[in-house]
């Protein structure tokens, strides 16, 4: 197996790795609630997908302070 004759510098290795970055997430606004969501996914805020409600989202009630 081939081995490098000389060591590559840190900057040379980093230059090679500059294109290893991950693509940004493709977020689109939900047509119902306008929250940013992943495309082709059910909205976790309102539960809508393709203009119809797929899952029912339960609303949490706020706890009242005891005085």
Q: Does any domain span residue 2?
A: no
User: In terms of residue numbers, what domain contains 45?
Assistant: 24-57
Structure tokens at 5: 């004759």
The structure's pTM equals: 0.56
* Phi/psi of residue 13, nearest 5 degrees: -65, -40
CB-CB contact of 51 with 31 (8 Å): yes
pLDDT in tens, 28-38: 999 999 999 99
CB-CB contact of 56 with 47 (8 Å): yes
Per-residue pLDDT for 65 more than 80?
Answer: no
Q: Does any domain span residue 53?
A: yes
What is residue 4's predicted lDDT score, i.e. its pLDDT?
85
pLDDT in tens, 16-56: 999 999 998 899 999 999 999 999 999 999 999 998 999 99
Measured distance CA(63)–CA(9) in Å, rounded: 59
Question: What's the domain count of the chain?
Answer: 1
């Amino acid at each position: 197996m081939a081995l490098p004759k000389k060591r590559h510098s840190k900057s040379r290795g980093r230059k090679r790795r500059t294109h290893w970055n991950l693509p940004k997430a493709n977020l689109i606004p939900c047509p119902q609630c306008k929250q940013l969501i992943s495309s082709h996914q059910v909205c976790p805020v309102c539960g809508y997908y393709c203009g119809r409600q797929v899952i029912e989202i339960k609303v949490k009630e706020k706890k009242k302070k005891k005085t």
